[in-house]
A and B are shown apart, each in its own frame.
Chain A
Amino acid sequence: TMLLLFLLLLATAHGLDKLPYKPTLASPTMGGLKTTSTFVLEQPRCVFTEAQANAVIWLVVAVPKAVAKFNNSVGPGTPERAFQRFPTSAPAYMTLNTTLLNYPCPKPPGEITVLRVGSETSCTRDEKRPTCNGPLPSPGPYRVKFLALEGSKPVAETGWSEPITLRTAQPPNSIPVMGRGHSAGMIALTSILSILFAILLAGLLAMLVFWGSDACGGSSTFNKPEAVTVRRYNTHHVHDQAAAQL
């Protein structure tokens, strides 16, 4: 009889289904897959079976150190599993509780089925809401798993995910605002214009020098009032010569 009792006890104690599924992040095409305080998981579709139809499926978020000795029997809502005390006095918290009805199988194609961890900002400091899905306080890393509870008895669990590390934001004064790199165009423009301007100034100087010594300019200058008289003289001279030859 003692043996029979012992076997019965064993049977009930090992009622925990260990499912082979590991929670994963959603598709990387999402821009907000990992932010500095949230991350997005794929929903556990077709993971839990009809055996867990009456269970409440919770998401457990834990620091990696708490994974080895994690106790499934510690219920959600207790101080040891309160979001507000995570990660200092509570090494893990439980949130996003729902039933199998919300994870229907099979997954309709083309639908985005995700869970955003960290989206509830209103209850971050509300100790009356220990199952708050609040923003994560640090970049992590974190490990998650799904746990199905019937009442307070764990009936199924998935494996732990790989460690998830969130993004870290740098301060803006770490951005290097580079000193002016001079482009080739700028150098070409500046040098050509400077040379042209220098030539013009030299030309102006030469002009003023010539003006000073105006007596020199004689041979090929033209005179505006006399230009007309010179032409008249030429035609007269040619006309005279032609007449003389006739």
Chain B
Amino acid sequence: MAKSDDGIHILQGLLVFGNVVIGTCGIALTAECIFFVSDPHGLYPLLEATENDDIYAAAWIGIFVGFALFALSILGIVGVIKSNRTLLLVYIILMLITYAFEMASCITAVTHRDFLTPNLFLKQMLERYQKSETVNNNDKWMTEGVTKTWDKLMLQNQCCGVLGPSDWQEYTSAFRIMHSDADFPWPRNCCVMDARGSPVNLDGCKLGVPGYYNSNGCYDAISGPMNTHAWGVAWFGFAILCWTFCVLLGTMFYWSRIEY
């Protein structure tokens, strides 16, 4: 009997340790998802305009799941130490519900990341950037968001277009309707700017002389943060769920060994 007592104590210790890890990971997940939702790179308007901002929904779910994991881990520790069947049953059921939500968040994040291709952003940029005639309020809101985001992107990252300035030449666009090709082969923000925000050499920029205009595309500046966001939510959540799986299996085994 002593040996099985020790075995049970070891299992108790492991479960408490497992729950501590779950609790801390839950806090970390909440913090990470709050960071992503706060949109430090200002790319949310681009996603909003694609009408597919599910990776943000996944991050929101992550915030609440992280908090729930923390609370449930405390419940789990108490339940294991007190060896209380009811508490542990409640713990297991609530954990399974949280597990289901986190699973949904991970799968959503990774699925919708695959949806964000360069062509998607190219089409959106061409159709919305500096679009002058908006149909309704929603359209106006999205257009303003896309225009401001692109202006900021091109200025801060010294880039032009999605794949390059030739995007503006290869395709017609809402921008082209309002600005003639001869005066604006590409938007002004594609020009290298001086400290006061005006082009260093406007003619050089229009000619496309290397050094006076930004010849690289902005896709890396968009996809980098979005990849980090989606994979951070999806794969960290996956790791937490794998660990939680082991802890839950252990808890179920422990539960079946308690007798009133």
Which residues of A pack against B, CB within 8 Å? 29-33, 35-38, 40, 112, 114, 116, 118-121, 134-135, 167, 169-178, 180-183, 185-186, 189-190, 192-194, 196-197, 199-201, 203-204, 206-207, 210-211, 217, 220-224, 227, 230-231, 234
Contacts and interface: CB of A to CB of B under 8 A. Distances in A.
Contacts of A33: 208
A181 B116 CA distance: 10
Contacts of A186: 107, 110-111, 113-114
Interface residues of B, number: 62
B110 A200 contact: no
B182 A38 contact: yes
B208 A31 contact: yes
A203 B208 contact: no
B123 A177 contact: yes
B234 A118 contact: no
Contacts of B209: 30-31, 112
A97 to B, nearest CB: 19
B206 A196 contact: no
Contacts of B115: 180
A12 to B, nearest CB: 41
A222 B119 contact: no
A177 B185 contact: no
B117 A170 contact: no
Contact of B1 (A31, A178, A194, A230): A230
B256 interface: yes
Given A119-B206, A178-B117, A189-B106, 15 more contacts: A32-B206, A35-B181, A40-B207, A170-B171, A170-B172, A175-B119, A175-B122, A177-B117, A183-B114, A186-B114, A196-B241, A206-B252, A217-B256, A217-B259, A222-B258
Contacts of A120: 182
Instruction: Find the residue from B83, B206, B213 having the highest chain A CB count within 10 A.
Output: B206
Contacts of B172: 169-172
Contacts of A194: 103
B205 to A, nearest CB: 8
Interface of B: 1-2, 4-5, 8, 83, 89, 92-93, 96, 99-100, 103, 106-107, 110-111, 113-115, 117, 119-120, 122-123, 126-127, 165-166, 169-173, 176, 180-183, 185, 203, 206-210, 213, 215, 234-235, 238, 241-242, 245, 248-249, 252, 255-259
Main secondary structure of the interface of B (DSSP, over half): helix
B196 to A, nearest CB: 24
List of 10 A-B pairs having minimum Cβ-Cβ separation, nearest first: A31-B208, A32-B208, A172-B126, A135-B182, A221-B259, A186-B110, A37-B181, A169-B172, A30-B208, A175-B123
A200 B4 contact: no
B100 A36 contact: no
Contacts of B242: 192, 196
B117 A189 contact: no
A194 to B, nearest CB: 8
Nearest to A203: B252
A169 B120 CA distance: 18
Contacts of A32: 185, 206-208
B92 A182 contact: no
Nearest to A36: B181
B126 A207 contact: no
Contacts of B183: 121
Contacts of B259: 217, 221-223
Contacts of B252: 203-204, 206-207
B114 A193 contact: no
Contacts of A37: 180-182
Contact of B248 (A200, A211, A221): A200
A116 B209 CA distance: 12
Contacts of A30: 207-210
Contact of B170 (A38, A119, A170, A190): A170
A189 to B, nearest CB: 5
11 contacts: A31-B208, A118-B182, A119-B206, A170-B171, A177-B117, A197-B96, A200-B249, A204-B96, A210-B256, A217-B256, A224-B258
Contact of A35 (B2, B96, B185, B235): B185
A29 B211 CA distance: 11
B118 to A, nearest CB: 10
Contact of B107 (A114, A175, A190, A222): A190
B127 A172 contact: yes
A135 to B, nearest CB: 4
Contact of B245 (A135, A200, A210, A217): A200
Contacts of A175: 119, 122-123, 126, 171
